[in-house]
Amino acid sequence: MVLSVRLDPKTRKLIDRIARAERISRSEVVRRGIHLLAEKHAHADSFEPFQAIKHLVGQARGGPRNLSERTGDRFRELLLKKRSGR
C-alpha cells in the first residue's frame, strides 16, 4: 500500500538522518516508528501502577525493622499529642 504523508522540513530531516545512520530507507524508518508507537500503546492498555514502582519494592535499607507494627496505634497517639498541644 502506498501512503502519502505531508511532513514539515524538520521532521523530513530527522527521518533522513535516521535513515542514513541506520542504513535503511525512509519508508523503513517510518514503519519502525509506527511499530514502536503501536507497542507503546499496547502496553499502555495493560498498565498497572505496581509495574511503575516494582523495582523499588523491598529496596529500603536501615532503620527500625518494626515500622509496620502498631502503625494505627502510633498514628492515633501522634494525633492525640497534636490535638492536646493546641
Summarize pLDDT for 13-66 with one digit per residue, the tens: 999 999 999 999 999 999 999 999 998 877 666 667 887 788 888 767 777 777
What's residue 61's pLDDT? Answer: 73
Question: Is the model's pLDDT at 70 over the cut of 90?
Answer: no
Measuring CA to CA, which residue among 37, 29, 24 is closest to residue 12? 29
What's residue 52's pLDDT? Answer: 79
What's residue 13's pLDDT? Answer: 97
Give the H or E element holding residue 29: helix 26-45
What's residue 47's pLDDT? Answer: 66
